[in-house]
Amino acid sequence: MATAAFHTTSPSPSRSAHLTRRSPSLPRFHSVRCSYAAKSPTLTNADPSPAFRSLTAFAPATVANLGPGFDFLGCAVGGGLGDTVTVSVDPAVAPGTLSITDISGCPAASRLNRDPRWNCAGIAGIAAMRMLGVRSVGLSLSLHKGLPLGSGLGSSAASASAAALAVNELFGGRLSPDELVLAGLESEKKVSGYHADNVGPCILGGFVLIRSYDPFEIIKLEFPADRDIYFVLVSPEFEAPTKKMREALPANITMKDHVRNSSQAAALVAAVVQGNVRVLGSALAADGIVEPRRAPLIPGMVSVKKAAMDAGAFGCTISGAGPTAVAVVDDEEKGNKIASRMVEAFLRDGNLQASATIAKLDRVGARVIGSSLE
Protein backbone atom coordinates (compact mmCIF):
# COMPACT_ATOMS: atom_id res chain seq x y z
CA MET A 1 0.00 0.00 0.00
CA ALA A 2 1.73 3.17 -1.19
CA THR A 3 1.79 6.23 1.01
CA ALA A 4 3.16 9.73 0.69
CA ALA A 5 4.50 12.06 3.36
CA PHE A 6 5.30 15.76 3.47
CA HIS A 7 6.69 18.54 5.67
CA THR A 8 5.34 21.97 6.57
CA THR A 9 6.75 25.41 7.23
CA SER A 10 5.50 28.95 7.87
CA PRO A 11 2.11 29.81 9.49
CA SER A 12 -0.65 31.87 7.87
CA PRO A 13 -4.38 32.47 8.55
CA SER A 14 -7.07 30.88 6.38
CA ARG A 15 -10.80 31.08 5.75
CA SER A 16 -13.78 28.73 5.37
CA ALA A 17 -13.79 26.66 2.18
CA HIS A 18 -16.92 28.17 0.65
CA LEU A 19 -16.69 31.84 1.59
CA THR A 20 -17.05 34.21 -1.35
CA ARG A 21 -15.57 37.69 -1.25
CA ARG A 22 -17.51 40.37 -3.12
CA SER A 23 -16.44 43.81 -4.28
CA PRO A 24 -19.16 46.51 -4.12
CA SER A 25 -17.73 48.20 -7.21
CA LEU A 26 -17.69 44.98 -9.25
CA PRO A 27 -20.74 43.01 -8.07
CA ARG A 28 -20.52 40.34 -10.77
CA PHE A 29 -16.83 39.55 -10.48
CA HIS A 30 -15.17 37.60 -7.70
CA SER A 31 -11.38 37.87 -7.96
CA VAL A 32 -9.13 35.45 -6.11
CA ARG A 33 -5.49 36.47 -6.40
CA CYS A 34 -2.57 34.47 -5.13
CA SER A 35 1.06 34.63 -6.26
CA TYR A 36 1.96 30.96 -6.43
CA ALA A 37 5.44 31.37 -7.87
CA ALA A 38 6.63 34.15 -5.54
CA LYS A 39 4.80 33.14 -2.38
CA SER A 40 3.72 29.69 -1.18
CA PRO A 41 0.09 28.91 -0.30
CA THR A 42 -0.89 28.86 3.35
CA LEU A 43 1.31 26.52 5.37
CA THR A 44 0.79 26.13 9.08
CA ASN A 45 2.54 24.53 12.03
CA ALA A 46 -0.76 24.04 13.86
CA ASP A 47 -1.22 20.30 13.14
CA PRO A 48 -5.04 20.52 13.31
CA SER A 49 -7.23 17.84 14.84
CA PRO A 50 -9.80 16.16 12.59
CA ALA A 51 -13.34 17.50 12.90
CA PHE A 52 -14.73 14.25 11.46
CA ARG A 53 -13.72 10.62 11.29
CA SER A 54 -14.65 10.39 7.63
CA LEU A 55 -15.89 12.83 5.00
CA THR A 56 -17.11 12.53 1.41
CA ALA A 57 -16.91 15.27 -1.23
CA PHE A 58 -18.23 15.51 -4.78
CA ALA A 59 -16.70 17.60 -7.57
CA PRO A 60 -18.55 18.29 -10.84
CA ALA A 61 -17.57 17.91 -14.47
CA THR A 62 -16.18 20.98 -16.19
CA VAL A 63 -15.97 22.37 -19.69
CA ALA A 64 -12.61 24.03 -20.33
CA ASN A 65 -11.59 26.48 -23.06
CA LEU A 66 -15.18 27.29 -24.09
CA GLY A 67 -13.93 27.67 -27.64
CA PRO A 68 -11.59 30.67 -27.91
CA GLY A 69 -10.63 30.70 -24.19
CA PHE A 70 -7.85 28.12 -24.42
CA ASP A 71 -6.40 27.50 -20.93
CA PHE A 72 -8.09 30.57 -19.42
CA LEU A 73 -11.87 30.05 -19.54
CA GLY A 74 -13.99 27.25 -18.12
CA CYS A 75 -17.22 26.42 -16.32
CA ALA A 76 -18.71 23.74 -14.08
CA VAL A 77 -21.68 21.73 -15.30
CA GLY A 78 -24.38 19.79 -13.45
CA GLY A 79 -26.33 16.72 -14.47
CA GLY A 80 -24.80 14.55 -11.76
CA LEU A 81 -21.53 14.18 -13.67
CA GLY A 82 -18.46 14.18 -11.46
CA ASP A 83 -16.12 12.33 -9.11
CA THR A 84 -16.54 11.43 -5.45
CA VAL A 85 -13.78 11.13 -2.86
CA THR A 86 -14.02 9.83 0.70
CA VAL A 87 -11.19 10.64 3.09
CA SER A 88 -10.93 8.94 6.48
CA VAL A 89 -8.69 9.11 9.51
CA ASP A 90 -6.94 5.73 9.42
CA PRO A 91 -4.80 4.38 12.29
CA ALA A 92 -3.33 1.84 9.87
CA VAL A 93 -1.75 4.66 7.83
CA ALA A 94 1.43 6.25 9.17
CA PRO A 95 0.93 9.72 10.69
CA GLY A 96 1.46 12.53 8.22
CA THR A 97 0.85 10.32 5.19
CA LEU A 98 -2.00 9.56 2.80
CA SER A 99 -2.85 6.20 1.26
CA ILE A 100 -5.22 5.38 -1.59
CA THR A 101 -7.17 2.29 -0.57
CA ASP A 102 -9.81 2.00 -3.28
CA ILE A 103 -10.56 3.24 -6.81
CA SER A 104 -13.90 2.37 -8.40
CA GLY A 105 -16.32 3.72 -10.99
CA CYS A 106 -15.85 3.94 -14.75
CA PRO A 107 -14.40 0.89 -16.55
CA ALA A 108 -11.01 2.56 -17.01
CA ALA A 109 -10.70 3.39 -13.30
CA SER A 110 -8.70 0.20 -12.75
CA ARG A 111 -5.90 1.71 -14.85
CA LEU A 112 -5.33 4.53 -12.39
CA ASN A 113 -2.20 4.51 -10.24
CA ARG A 114 -2.81 3.90 -6.54
CA ASP A 115 0.46 5.54 -5.59
CA PRO A 116 -0.80 8.90 -4.19
CA ARG A 117 2.23 10.66 -5.63
CA TRP A 118 1.04 9.79 -9.14
CA ASN A 119 -2.72 9.93 -8.74
CA CYS A 120 -4.71 13.15 -9.23
CA ALA A 121 -6.70 12.75 -6.03
CA GLY A 122 -3.62 11.72 -4.06
CA ILE A 123 -1.49 14.66 -5.21
CA ALA A 124 -4.18 17.22 -4.37
CA GLY A 125 -5.00 15.53 -1.07
CA ILE A 126 -1.33 15.63 -0.07
CA ALA A 127 -1.11 19.30 -1.09
CA ALA A 128 -4.11 20.14 1.12
CA MET A 129 -2.57 18.21 4.05
CA ARG A 130 0.68 20.11 3.60
CA MET A 131 -1.12 23.47 3.58
CA LEU A 132 -3.04 22.52 6.73
CA GLY A 133 0.04 21.19 8.51
CA VAL A 134 -1.39 17.73 9.23
CA ARG A 135 1.26 15.54 10.87
CA SER A 136 -0.25 13.53 13.72
CA VAL A 137 -2.78 11.39 11.80
CA GLY A 138 -2.72 9.30 8.64
CA LEU A 139 -5.48 9.40 6.03
CA SER A 140 -6.91 6.83 3.66
CA LEU A 141 -8.60 7.93 0.47
CA SER A 142 -11.24 6.22 -1.65
CA LEU A 143 -11.97 7.52 -5.16
CA HIS A 144 -15.10 6.84 -7.21
CA LYS A 145 -14.71 7.89 -10.84
CA GLY A 146 -18.02 9.12 -12.17
CA LEU A 147 -16.25 10.69 -15.13
CA PRO A 148 -14.54 8.65 -17.86
CA LEU A 149 -10.84 9.18 -18.45
CA GLY A 150 -9.81 11.39 -21.35
CA SER A 151 -13.35 12.62 -21.89
CA GLY A 152 -12.75 16.37 -22.09
CA LEU A 153 -14.94 16.90 -19.02
CA GLY A 154 -12.20 17.60 -16.49
CA SER A 155 -11.83 14.08 -15.11
CA SER A 156 -8.46 14.69 -13.44
CA ALA A 157 -9.60 18.06 -12.06
CA ALA A 158 -12.72 16.52 -10.52
CA SER A 159 -10.67 13.89 -8.68
CA ALA A 160 -8.20 16.53 -7.47
CA SER A 161 -10.87 19.02 -6.41
CA ALA A 162 -12.93 16.47 -4.50
CA ALA A 163 -9.82 15.24 -2.68
CA ALA A 164 -8.58 18.73 -1.75
CA LEU A 165 -12.00 19.74 -0.45
CA ALA A 166 -12.51 16.48 1.46
CA VAL A 167 -9.17 16.80 3.26
CA ASN A 168 -9.81 20.45 4.04
CA GLU A 169 -13.29 19.89 5.45
CA LEU A 170 -12.15 16.84 7.41
CA PHE A 171 -10.03 19.27 9.41
CA GLY A 172 -12.66 22.00 9.76
CA GLY A 173 -12.46 23.83 6.42
CA ARG A 174 -9.54 26.14 7.19
CA LEU A 175 -8.31 26.63 3.63
CA SER A 176 -9.82 29.27 1.36
CA PRO A 177 -11.23 28.58 -2.14
CA ASP A 178 -8.13 30.02 -3.81
CA GLU A 179 -5.90 27.74 -1.73
CA LEU A 180 -8.00 24.75 -2.75
CA VAL A 181 -7.58 25.75 -6.39
CA LEU A 182 -3.81 25.81 -5.87
CA ALA A 183 -3.93 22.36 -4.24
CA GLY A 184 -5.80 21.06 -7.28
CA LEU A 185 -3.40 22.83 -9.59
CA GLU A 186 -0.54 20.85 -8.03
CA SER A 187 -2.24 17.76 -9.42
CA GLU A 188 -2.96 19.22 -12.84
CA LYS A 189 0.65 20.41 -13.14
CA LYS A 190 1.96 16.90 -12.58
CA VAL A 191 -0.64 14.97 -14.57
CA SER A 192 -1.92 17.06 -17.50
CA GLY A 193 -0.19 20.45 -17.52
CA TYR A 194 -0.21 23.72 -15.61
CA HIS A 195 -3.71 24.93 -16.45
CA ALA A 196 -6.57 25.82 -14.08
CA ASP A 197 -9.49 26.14 -16.50
CA ASN A 198 -10.87 22.83 -15.18
CA VAL A 199 -9.85 22.85 -11.52
CA GLY A 200 -10.82 26.53 -11.10
CA PRO A 201 -14.51 26.14 -11.96
CA CYS A 202 -14.54 22.69 -10.35
CA ILE A 203 -13.72 24.28 -6.98
CA LEU A 204 -15.49 27.64 -7.37
CA GLY A 205 -18.48 26.64 -9.51
CA GLY A 206 -19.95 28.63 -12.40
CA PHE A 207 -17.78 30.35 -15.00
CA VAL A 208 -14.19 31.36 -14.29
CA LEU A 209 -11.47 33.32 -16.05
CA ILE A 210 -7.79 32.65 -15.35
CA ARG A 211 -6.35 36.14 -15.64
CA SER A 212 -2.76 35.18 -14.91
CA TYR A 213 -0.66 32.13 -14.08
CA ASP A 214 2.36 34.05 -12.78
CA PRO A 215 1.28 35.44 -10.41
CA PHE A 216 -1.77 33.19 -10.28
CA GLU A 217 -5.06 35.09 -10.45
CA ILE A 218 -8.51 33.68 -11.05
CA ILE A 219 -11.75 35.61 -11.52
CA LYS A 220 -15.21 34.12 -11.02
CA LEU A 221 -17.67 35.37 -13.63
CA GLU A 222 -21.20 35.68 -12.27
CA PHE A 223 -23.79 34.37 -14.71
CA PRO A 224 -27.12 36.05 -13.77
CA ALA A 225 -29.13 33.99 -11.29
CA ASP A 226 -32.38 34.59 -13.18
CA ARG A 227 -31.06 33.21 -16.48
CA ASP A 228 -30.79 29.60 -17.63
CA ILE A 229 -28.16 28.01 -19.82
CA TYR A 230 -28.14 24.36 -20.88
CA PHE A 231 -25.08 22.44 -21.99
CA VAL A 232 -25.58 19.57 -24.40
CA LEU A 233 -22.71 17.21 -23.66
CA VAL A 234 -22.21 14.40 -26.15
CA SER A 235 -19.39 11.97 -25.35
CA PRO A 236 -18.33 9.40 -27.98
CA GLU A 237 -16.66 6.11 -27.10
CA PHE A 238 -13.24 7.45 -27.97
CA GLU A 239 -10.39 8.55 -25.72
CA ALA A 240 -8.53 11.75 -26.50
CA PRO A 241 -5.52 12.03 -24.16
CA THR A 242 -4.78 15.64 -23.24
CA LYS A 243 -1.08 15.25 -24.07
CA LYS A 244 -1.82 14.03 -27.59
CA MET A 245 -4.36 16.78 -28.21
CA ARG A 246 -1.90 19.43 -27.01
CA GLU A 247 0.71 18.14 -29.41
CA ALA A 248 -1.64 19.02 -32.27
CA LEU A 249 -1.63 22.73 -31.45
CA PRO A 250 0.21 25.22 -33.66
CA ALA A 251 3.51 26.58 -32.36
CA ASN A 252 2.82 29.98 -33.90
CA ILE A 253 -0.30 31.90 -34.90
CA THR A 254 -0.85 34.93 -37.11
CA MET A 255 -1.73 38.36 -35.75
CA LYS A 256 -5.06 38.11 -37.58
CA ASP A 257 -5.96 34.86 -35.78
CA HIS A 258 -4.82 36.31 -32.44
CA VAL A 259 -7.02 39.39 -32.82
CA ARG A 260 -10.01 37.36 -33.96
CA ASN A 261 -9.79 34.84 -31.12
CA SER A 262 -9.16 37.55 -28.53
CA SER A 263 -12.26 39.44 -29.61
CA GLN A 264 -14.36 36.27 -29.45
CA ALA A 265 -13.05 35.42 -25.97
CA ALA A 266 -13.87 38.96 -24.81
CA ALA A 267 -17.37 38.66 -26.30
CA LEU A 268 -17.84 35.37 -24.48
CA VAL A 269 -16.93 36.92 -21.12
CA ALA A 270 -19.30 39.82 -21.75
CA ALA A 271 -22.07 37.39 -22.70
CA VAL A 272 -21.54 35.41 -19.49
CA VAL A 273 -21.96 38.38 -17.17
CA GLN A 274 -24.91 39.67 -19.22
CA GLY A 275 -26.57 36.26 -19.34
CA ASN A 276 -26.77 36.41 -23.13
CA VAL A 277 -26.72 32.73 -24.13
CA ARG A 278 -27.09 33.48 -27.83
CA VAL A 279 -23.94 35.62 -28.00
CA LEU A 280 -22.15 33.21 -25.64
CA GLY A 281 -22.85 30.34 -28.02
CA SER A 282 -21.79 32.32 -31.07
CA ALA A 283 -18.46 33.20 -29.45
CA LEU A 284 -17.96 29.66 -28.16
CA ALA A 285 -18.28 28.33 -31.73
CA ALA A 286 -15.83 30.84 -33.21
CA ASP A 287 -12.44 29.46 -32.13
CA GLY A 288 -10.14 29.70 -35.14
CA ILE A 289 -6.93 28.42 -33.55
CA VAL A 290 -7.36 25.30 -31.39
CA GLU A 291 -10.58 23.68 -32.60
CA PRO A 292 -9.52 23.49 -36.29
CA ARG A 293 -6.42 21.49 -35.24
CA ARG A 294 -8.18 19.16 -32.83
CA ALA A 295 -11.51 18.49 -34.55
CA PRO A 296 -10.00 16.30 -37.32
CA LEU A 297 -8.48 14.04 -34.63
CA ILE A 298 -11.95 13.20 -33.26
CA PRO A 299 -13.90 11.08 -35.77
CA GLY A 300 -17.10 12.82 -36.83
CA MET A 301 -16.54 16.01 -34.80
CA VAL A 302 -16.89 18.40 -37.75
CA SER A 303 -20.22 16.83 -38.68
CA VAL A 304 -21.35 16.81 -35.06
CA LYS A 305 -20.82 20.56 -34.78
CA LYS A 306 -22.75 21.17 -37.99
CA ALA A 307 -25.58 18.92 -36.81
CA ALA A 308 -25.82 20.83 -33.52
CA MET A 309 -25.94 24.22 -35.23
CA ASP A 310 -28.46 23.03 -37.82
CA ALA A 311 -30.68 21.75 -34.99
CA GLY A 312 -30.75 25.15 -33.31
CA ALA A 313 -27.77 25.28 -30.95
CA PHE A 314 -26.41 28.76 -30.32
CA GLY A 315 -22.92 27.33 -30.50
CA CYS A 316 -20.92 24.11 -30.40
CA THR A 317 -17.28 23.26 -29.83
CA ILE A 318 -14.96 20.67 -28.31
CA SER A 319 -15.09 20.41 -24.53
CA GLY A 320 -11.55 20.77 -23.23
CA ALA A 321 -9.22 18.50 -25.18
CA GLY A 322 -12.17 16.35 -26.30
CA PRO A 323 -13.61 14.09 -27.46
CA THR A 324 -16.83 15.36 -25.82
CA ALA A 325 -18.69 17.92 -27.93
CA VAL A 326 -20.53 20.68 -26.09
CA ALA A 327 -23.38 22.76 -27.44
CA VAL A 328 -25.23 25.54 -25.64
CA VAL A 329 -28.88 26.53 -25.70
CA ASP A 330 -31.39 28.24 -23.39
CA ASP A 331 -34.15 25.61 -23.55
CA GLU A 332 -33.97 22.04 -22.23
CA GLU A 333 -36.46 20.59 -24.74
CA LYS A 334 -34.48 22.04 -27.63
CA GLY A 335 -31.36 20.65 -25.99
CA ASN A 336 -32.76 17.13 -26.17
CA LYS A 337 -33.41 17.52 -29.90
CA ILE A 338 -29.90 18.84 -30.47
CA ALA A 339 -28.40 15.98 -28.45
CA SER A 340 -30.17 13.43 -30.63
CA ARG A 341 -28.79 14.98 -33.81
CA MET A 342 -25.27 15.10 -32.38
CA VAL A 343 -25.37 11.44 -31.33
CA GLU A 344 -26.58 10.50 -34.81
CA ALA A 345 -23.75 12.47 -36.42
CA PHE A 346 -21.09 10.74 -34.31
CA LEU A 347 -22.43 7.36 -35.40
CA ARG A 348 -23.00 8.25 -39.04
CA ASP A 349 -19.80 10.17 -39.78
CA GLY A 350 -17.44 9.01 -37.04
CA ASN A 351 -18.64 5.42 -36.59
CA LEU A 352 -18.71 6.10 -32.84
CA GLN A 353 -21.38 5.30 -30.29
CA ALA A 354 -22.03 8.29 -28.06
CA SER A 355 -24.00 9.19 -24.95
CA ALA A 356 -25.63 12.55 -24.24
CA THR A 357 -26.37 14.58 -21.12
CA ILE A 358 -28.28 17.84 -20.85
CA ALA A 359 -26.78 19.79 -17.95
CA LYS A 360 -27.37 23.17 -16.38
CA LEU A 361 -24.60 25.38 -15.06
CA ASP A 362 -23.24 24.11 -11.74
CA ARG A 363 -23.03 27.30 -9.68
CA VAL A 364 -21.70 25.62 -6.51
CA GLY A 365 -18.62 23.62 -7.46
CA ALA A 366 -17.06 20.99 -5.20
CA ARG A 367 -19.11 20.26 -2.08
CA VAL A 368 -19.40 17.94 0.91
CA ILE A 369 -22.06 15.27 0.48
CA GLY A 370 -21.51 13.19 3.62
CA SER A 371 -19.58 12.95 6.87
CA SER A 372 -19.23 10.75 9.91
CA LEU A 373 -18.02 11.37 13.46
CA GLU A 374 -17.67 7.64 14.16
- Where in the sequence numbering do the catalytic residues fall? 188, 242
Contacts of 215 (CB under 8 A, 6+ apart): 33, 34, 35, 36, 37, 38
| Omega cis (within 30) before 323 | yes
CA-atom Rg of the chain in angstroms: 20
Amino acid at 216: F
Candidates 327, 330, 307, 331; CA nearest to 319 is 327
Which residues touch 79 (CB under 8 Å, ≥6 apart)? Answer: 61, 233, 357, 358, 359, 360
Give yes or no for a contact between 270 and 279, defined as CB atoms under 8 angstroms apart. yes
Q: How many CB atoms lie within 10 A of CB 312?
A: 14
Closest CA to 87 of 140, 129, 15, 160: 140
Do 183 and 166 form a contact (C-beta atoms < 8 A)? no
For residue 116, what is the DSSP state? Answer: G
Q: Is the peptide bond before 148 cis (omega within 30 degrees of 0)?
A: no
Q: Is the dihedral of CA 75, 78, 82, 86 positive or negative?
A: positive
What are the distances in angstroms from CA 267 to CA 273, 283, 325, 373? 10, 6, 21, 48
CA distance 182 to 199: 9
> Is the dihedral angle over the CA atoms 89, 92, 96, 102 positive or is it negative?
negative
Could you give the angle at which helices 155-170 and 120-132 cross, rounded to 10 degrees? 30
